[in-house]
Each structure stands twice: as structure tokens, then as C-alpha cells.
């Protein structure tokens, strides 16, 4: 572990951080799971399966979808799919896991939009699929920031109706955004505590040269957070989510899922998975009925300039009791 920490420190000091994180953490599907074609002013997506067969995405009558192209603050262009459910109150920004892309996730997200009655913005990472550039930690932060700005500035959606859903590596940009911007709630599915803690058997501190450090950001998030993690997860052990749970300020009962690994909670436990997500969304809906002034202060992230040991004490509360 000491040698690994030294390696992380040296690469960060020497300016090789992006190369290390790229080889360590980012594995875009090759070939991508989709192609996007432009006809006049519109974009159309075709899905590509593992055999190279192209198919049209599944469409549902009360959920429309639209391909949008977003420009990030790091001068990259990323595609996103915006699902609009006619019954929706909330809009979810979905940050997908590694070794997948918005094409592979597209039909699953369409179904999630139907089941949860939410709008969803499924965005791509820089360097994945038909995005420009190369993936990096800074780029995925810029990617989700562009997605948030699109919803608030272009779609005109108030922050309190925006939820973040991050899965696996997607929990990293989700925590980063929520630690800097107001959102209604955050869902962390199989989260990582930090990159260094992937190599440690016990929870530890996160030094300045660590990366993907959710554990140093989650204390700054003031909105409710729902954590779910498979107990049999071998890629990211459940200890990561347990570590993060100890820093959650507005508590919603976490879900440690028996007989579930890294990518199968939504398959093996579909009914309970959807029910728990619905309960979380309902709890947020109840919470945001507070007066705007009170809600603004309750959900406004802490100033990131304040050291963690100087943050106010935890103000946890159970939005719903099990």
C-alpha cells in the first residue's frame, strides 16, 4: 500500500495524473454501443450490439427522447439523450458506469424513466462513444457540469427538481457536482470511496494526491443521499459505500443488497430496486415543500474552502424510516 501511495504521489507531482487515471479507470467500449447520425437539424441514434448489428432504440408512447450535443468548459463536445416523461416532476442526471456508454445504457434508462415517472438526461463522458477528447477526472467533472447547466439554463428546470444518479465510476462526477451545486437529491449506486482505498483493506484518509475521492466530497453535500451497494460486489467492495455512509448528512436508509454484485442489483432485485428508488423520490418531493428560503439554506452545499474538520456537526435526519 505504501508503494502505491508513493506512485500516486509521484505521478501527481510530475503531471502524469491524467495518464494514470486513464489507464486505471477509464475503459470505453470498443466499438461503441451506438452511432449518432445528423439529418438537417436533428440527431438520430442507432444502437450497436456486441455482434455489430444496428437496431433502433425502444420508444415508449409517453416518454419522448431527444439527442442533444453539449459543449463543456474544457472545450469538448459530448452527446446526451434527454428523456421527457409527460408525468414527470423530477429530472435525473444519470452518470453511467465504466465499460459502458449511453448507447448500451439507452434502453435501460428509457425503462427507468417509465417506471419512476421522471425525466432523465443520460450524458456521455469525454472520450467515450462519439464524444471528443480523452477521458480524465477533470473532463468527467466538466461533462456533468455541462449537463447540469443544460437543464437549468436551457430547459429552465429549478435545482430542487434535479436528482443525480451515479453508478460505479459515475458516482465520482455526481458527488463532485453535488458538493458544489444545489440539487434535490443524490443516488449513489455501487460507489467508490476513493482510488487509493481500492487498494486498502481498511478505510483510511484520502491524501491530496488521491483521485476519485468521493469520501472527501460527500461531507459537503447537504441534500439527501441514497446509497445502494451489492454485498457480493467484487469490483468495488461494499466497504466503500459503508465508508461514505458515515459522512452522509441528510440520511436516507442505505440498501446493502444480499446476493448482488457490481452490475446486477437492478436485474436480480428489480422490484425492490424500483420500489426503493420510488420511496427516495417521494421523500424528496415531500421535503421540497418547505419554504424556498429554508430549503435553499438546507440544501446549499458547504463552502469547499472550509476544511472538513471545521465543518458544522452532522445534521442527519431520516427522511423515511424503514
- Can you give the pLDDT of all 322 residues of the chain as single tens digits? 544 455 555 555 545 566 666 666 799 999 999 999 998 888 999 999 988 999 999 988 899 999 999 999 999 999 999 999 999 999 999 999 999 999 999 999 999 999 999 999 999 999 999 999 999 999 999 999 999 999 999 999 999 999 999 999 999 999 999 999 999 999 999 999 998 777 666 655 565 567 899 999 999 999 999 999 999 999 999 999 999 999 998 778 999 999 999 999 999 999 999 999 999 999 999 999 999 999 998 999 999 888 877 887 654 433 333 2
Asked whether the beta carbons of 116 and 281 are under 8 A apart, the reply is yes
User: Using the 8-state DSSP alphabet, how is residue 193 labeled?
Assistant: S
Which pLDDT score is estimated for 205? 59
Domain-by-domain residue ranges, the chain?
2-301
Instruction: Give the Cα separation of 141 and 139 in Å (integer).
Output: 5
Q: How far apart are CA 97 and CA 95, in angstroms?
A: 7
- The pLDDT of residue 315: 44
> For position 40, what pLDDT does the model report?
82
pLDDT of residue 322: 28
Contact between residue 210 and residue 258 where contact means Cβ atoms under 8 Å apart = no
Q: Which CATH number is 2-301 given?
A: 3.40.50.1820
Catalogue the active-site residues.
Answer: 168, 233, 262
Read off φ and ψ for residue 116, nearest 5 degrees: -95, -10
What is the rounded CA–CA span in Å between residue 91 and residue 104? 20
DSSP lists the bridge partners of residue 200 as none
pLDDT of residue 11: 52
Amino acid at each position: 500500500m505504501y508503494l502505491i501511495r508513493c506512485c500516486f504521489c509521484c505521478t501527481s507531482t510530475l503531471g502524469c495524473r491524467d495518464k494514470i487515471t486513464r489507464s486505471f479507470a477509464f475503459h470505453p467500449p470498443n466499438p461503441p454501443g451506438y452511432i449518432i447520425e445528423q439529418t438537417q437539424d436533428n440527431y438520430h441514434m442507432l444502437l450497436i450490439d456486441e455482434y455489430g448489428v444496428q437496431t433502433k432504440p425502444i420508444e415508449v408512447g409517453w416518454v419522448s427522447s431527444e439527442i442533444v450535443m453539449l459543449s463543456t468548459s474544457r472545450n469538448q463536445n459530448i452527446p446526451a439523450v434527454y428523456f421527457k416523461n409527460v408525468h414527470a416532476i423530477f429530472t435525473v442526471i444519470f452518470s453511467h458506469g465504466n465499460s459502458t456508454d449511453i448507447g448500451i445504457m439507452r434502453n435501460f434508462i428509457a425503462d427507468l424513466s417509465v417506471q419512476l415517472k421522471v425525466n432523465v438526461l443520460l450524458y456521455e463522458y469525454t472520450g467515450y462513444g462519439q464524444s471528443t477528447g480523452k477521458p480524465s477526472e477533470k473532463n468527467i467533472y466538466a461533462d456533468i457540469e455541462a449537463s447540469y447547466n443544460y437543464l437549468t439554463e436551457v430547459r429552465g428546470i429549478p435545482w430542487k427538481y434535479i436528482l443525480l444518479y451515479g453508478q460505479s465510476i459515475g458516482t465520482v462526477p455526481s458527488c463532485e457536482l453535488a458538493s458544489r451545486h444545489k440539487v434535490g437529491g443524490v443516488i449513489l449506486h455501487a460507489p467508490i470511496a476513493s482510488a487509493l482505498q481500492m487498494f486498502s483493506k481498511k478505510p483510511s484518509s484520502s491524501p491530496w494526491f488521491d483521485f476519485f475521492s468521493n469520501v472527501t466530497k460527500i461531507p459537503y453535500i447537504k441534500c439527501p443521499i441514497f446509497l445502494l451497494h451489492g454485498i457480493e460486489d467484487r469490483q468495488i467492495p461494499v466497504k466503500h459505500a459503508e465508508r461514505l455512509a458515515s459522512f452522509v448528512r441528510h440520511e436516507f436508509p442505505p440498501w446493502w443488497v444480499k446476493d448482488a454484485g457490481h452490475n446486477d442489483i437492478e436485474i436480480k432485485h428489480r422490484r425492490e430496486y424500483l420500489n426503493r428508488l420510488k420511496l427516495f423520490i417521494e421523500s424528496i418531493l415531500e421535503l421540497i415543500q418547505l419554504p424556498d428560503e429554508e430549503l435553499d439554506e438546507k440544501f446549499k452545499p458547504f463552502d469547499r474552502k472550509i476544511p472538513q474538520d471545521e465543518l458544522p456537526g452532522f445534521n442527519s435526519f431520516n427522511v423515511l424510516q424503514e
